[in-house]
Amino acid sequence: MYILLCGKPPFDGEDDKDIFRRVLTGRYDLSSKVWKSVSKEGKDFLKRMLILDYKKRPYAKDLLDDPWFKNAPSQAIDRELMAEAMGNLRNFSSNVKIQ
């Protein structure tokens, strides 16, 4: 969901060591320009998905019943930010192929 909304992985870094450190500590960023168009409820939804302790993370069924997820298709889309997210996704895809 994080990648679909912004086009980048939640745990990004300069190298594998940096990425693994961020995964293990649960550090991710919701401050880029793309996230300004995502509602507080949408960000809360993502935060619930990215809870570090898997025992506290909601099940997929619970997430599918979340009001933000159910109403997401009816929400307006900022085309400029969507284009930026798609560009991020293309760059991410290219970088993965290179690695």
Two tokens, residue 82 = 């969507």
Name the pTM for this structure.
Answer: 0.69
pLDDT at 2 over 80: yes
6 and 34 Cβ atoms separated by less than 8 Å: yes
Give the C-alpha separation, 29 to 11, whole Å. 8
Q: What is the pLDDT of residue 55?
A: 95
4-62 tens-digit pLDDT: 888 888 988 888 898 899 999 998 989 888 888 888 998 999 999 999 999 999 999 99
67-87 tens-digit pLDDT: 988 887 666 666 776 777 778
Q: What is the pLDDT of residue 54?
A: 92
Query: C-alpha angle 35/87/97, rounded to 5°?
Result: 120
Q: Domain ranges in the chain?
A: 32-76
Q: What is the pLDDT of residue 32?
A: 84
Q: What is the pLDDT of residue 90?
A: 81
